[in-house]
Amino acid sequence: MSLIALRDVSRWFPGPKRLTAVDDVSLRLERGSVLGVVGESGCGKSTLARLVLGLLAPSAGVITFNGVPLTKLHRRARAQLIQPVFQDPFQSLNPMQTVREIIGLPLAVQGMAAGARRQRVIDVLWQVGLAPEIASRLPRELSGGQRQRVAIARAVVARPSILVLDEPTSALDVSVQAQILNLLAGLRASYDLTMILISHNLAVVEHLATEVAVMYLGRIVEHAPTEALFAAPRHPYTRALLDSVLTPEPGLGLPDIKLGETIADPRAIPPGCRLHPRCPVAEPRCSVQTPVPVQEGARMVECLLAPLA
């Protein structure tokens, strides 16, 4: 049985034009795996993360943990099972609490005695590479990298099974990003953690993820093991994302990803294939025929032209 399973999950928001942020998504994650979710801003990545965390309820479909529907789990049980790490640690940490109070709060909610909490906080500080002396400090007294380590310590202190990481390194310097990624990889090995990693940074995803889901206008258009996807992407949108990576080589300028100047609008999803107004290889049938997911072993792609790609 999969640790996490999403079956036909959708989430829409009402308005003059209904916005469908996540549209009929199905996923399964096994214990110890790391799913990287990539795509442009507005494609539904963060909404998907909030659905898994239980911060949003699906408009349709069901999310289960070890076969139990998310809606049937008490908030305390859900917090014991799954924890988030957000993009900006300065915004996600209470500025009026000390590091000891911030990290110890999940343990207090779970009913752990004060003495045991203090020792667990010290232990987890060592694990994330922080000296115990930092426990008495406030977030404003820490560097960005230290704050993110505190946020990670708070997420793992109650020993959850799942971490949801929403752009966990984007607010940090490049050198600090590498340290945080290595820390996350070490914690995954130590605790057999399952992770969902939301990121724009394809290098981060390639380094940490074991599998990658590519989202476009609320749909997962390609899902594959990380190495296979980066070596041979099959969806035109995946290829465009990989081609968009900037190179440090001088004189090359900005890459041409061949998606034109049109932007994706979740309030006006086109008929047929959602990518066809921007797709460089679209055929006339792509504007009227909706592609269905095609599964080939561990790979899935949702494109009419994928067998030819």
Q: What is the pLDDT of residues 24-36, one digit of tens each?
A: 999 999 999 999 9
pLDDT at 127: 93
What values do phi and psi take at 267, rounded to 5? -90, -10
For residue 26, give the H/E element and its range: strand 19-29
Max Cα-Cα span within the chain: 68
Which alpha helices (DSSP H) does 133-173 contain, by range? 144-156
Q: Is the pLDDT reported for residue 308 higher than 50?
A: no
Task: Report pLDDT for 85.
Answer: 94
Query: Residue 267 has what pLDDT?
Result: 84
pTM of the model: 0.92
Residue 67 is inside which H or E element, if any?
A: none
Cβ neighbour number for residue 144 with a 10 Å cutoff: 15
The C-alpha atoms of residue 154 and residue 106 are separated, in whole angstroms, by: 7
> Are residues 84 and 49 in contact, defined by beta-carbon separation less than 8 angstroms?
yes
Q: What is the CATH number of domain 4-308?
A: 3.40.50.300
Indicate if the pLDDT at residue 261 is higher than 90. no
Q: Is 169 helix (H, G, I), strand (E, B) or coil?
A: coil
Report how far residue 203's alpha carbon sits from residue 221's, in angstroms, rounded to the nearest whole number. 20
Cα 249 from chain centre: 29
More confident residue, 262 or 223: 223
What is the structure's pLDDT at 173?
A: 81
117 close to 104: Cβ distance less than 8 angstroms: yes
Per the listing, tokens 């990803």 go with 257
Q: Mean pLDDT, to the nearest integer, of 191-203?
A: 92
pLDDT of residue 297 exceeding 70, the answer is yes
- Is residue 301's pLDDT more than 80? yes
Gap between the Cα atoms of 179 and 59, Å rounded = 38
Average of pLDDT values for 257-265? 73
Per-residue pLDDT band at 229 (split at 50, 70, 90): very high
33, 110, 185 from 168: Cα distances, Å? 17, 25, 13
* Side-by-side strand order, sheet with 294-296: 82-85, 162-166, 194-198, 34-38, 211-216, 219-225, 299-301, 294-296
Sequence-separated contacts (24+) of 18-22 with Cβ below 8 Å:
18/267, 19/266, 19/267, 20/218, 20/266, 20/269, 21/47, 21/218, 21/266, 22/47, 22/48, 22/51, 22/58, 22/218
Q: List, for residues 79-120, the tens digit of each pLDDT value.
A: 889 999 988 888 889 999 999 999 999 999 888 999 999 999
Percent of the chain whose pLDDT exceeds 70: 94
Helices and strands in the chain: count of H runs, count of E runs: 10, 12
Domain boundaries, the chain: 4-308
What local confidence, expressed as pLDDT, does residue 132 receive?
Answer: 93
- 5-22 as b/e, with b when 16 or more CB fall inside 10 Å? bbeebbbbeeeeeebbbb
Lowest-confidence range among 55-64, 94-103, 174-183?
174-183
Assess contact for 96 and 137: CB atoms under 8 A: no
pLDDT of the residue at 221: 96
